[in-house]
Amino acid sequence: MNPDPESLFQYLDQTRQLYGNHLLLEDIEQDDIETRHTDLDLFNQSICNCQKCPLSQTRQNFVFGVGNPKADIVFIGEAPGKQEDFQGVPFVGRAGKLLDKILAAIELTRNDVYICNVLKCRPPNNRDPLPSEVEKCEPYLIKQLHLISPKLIVALGRIAACTMLQTKESLKNLRNQIFTYAQIDLLVTYHPAALLRNPNFKKPAWEDFQLIRDKYLRKL
């Protein structure tokens, strides 16, 4: 039987007075965040002891990723470095601190975005990822992205970009374009470590982050 419209209105009005206008929406959103946290945590637990490639024998820590499980933007590097391998967290060295500053410049923090790498384990001596390593690890990355469901991926550095896009193009030619990876928009910019080595890259990198801000953040 359909409820009486007047009774329904009174019930909803009483509920609003008791609990406020946004209770249901906020509860659903919070539940969604907690669910994604749980999903990512469970996925991490299921793969953190991966032995699919030889990097499992040389790593100190499996570097899954950090940040907002409901992030609209995911930043992806190529692989963990020495400090990342030691701490189990991506982008924690000098390059990571610079990334934090760049994020702050467009009014973001690590709590707003998600940060990870194509590979979850450090290649010895920070060499480039091997195709065989990418083959084993990339499905983990794609699964992460599906769980987070971002609106934008930012590939940090040529190696990360070329790995995901399966190309050998220069970073210069990959910039200022929108690609698609795992059905998500992807932009390419410099790795923060490259900015530390060559300050001349800072200006074009800032242009990339302004594009991210203007094209994506202001639409969110």
40-84: pLDDT as tens digits:
999 999 999 999 999 999 999 999 999 999 999 999 999 999 999
Assess if residue 126 is contained within a domain. yes
Closest to 108 measured CA to CA, from 171, 147, 154 = 154
Assess if residue 1 is contained within a domain. no
Range of the domain at 213: 34-219
In percent, the amount of the chain with pLDDT more than 70 equals: 83
- Choice between 148 and 11, residue whose per-residue pLDDT is larger: 148
Q: What's 57's domain CATH number?
A: 3.40.470.10
- Concatenating the DSSP letter of every residue in 87-130 gives HT-SS-SHHHHHHHHHHHHTT--TTTSEEEES-SSPPGGGPPPP
Mean pLDDT lowest among 16-30, 57-71, 102-116, 137-151: 16-30
Phi, psi angle pair for 175, to nearest 5°: -70, 160
Assess if residue 39 is contained within a domain. yes
Assess if residue 12 is contained within a domain. no
Task: Tell me what pLDDT residue 34 has.
Answer: 62
Average pLDDT, whole number, for the chain? Answer: 88
Assess if residue 21 is contained within a domain. no
Task: Tell me what pLDDT residue 3 has.
Answer: 47
CA dihedral 94, 100, 103, 108 (to 10 degrees): 170
Task: Tell me what pLDDT residue 21 has.
Answer: 46
Task: Tell me what pLDDT residue 4 has.
Answer: 53
180-200: pLDDT as tens digits:
999 999 999 999 999 999 999
Residues 141, 118 contacting (CB under 8 angstroms): yes
| Distance separating alpha carbons of residues 171 and 106, to the nearest angstrom | 22
73-126: pLDDT as tens digits:
999 999 999 999 999 999 999 999 999 999 999 999 999 999 999 999 999 999
Assess if residue 22 is contained within a domain. no
**How many domains are there within the chain?**
1
Residues 122, 79 contacting (CB under 8 angstroms): yes
| Distance separating alpha carbons of residues 189 and 133, to the nearest angstrom | 23
Task: Tell me what pLDDT residue 211 has.
Answer: 94
Assess if residue 15 is contained within a domain. no
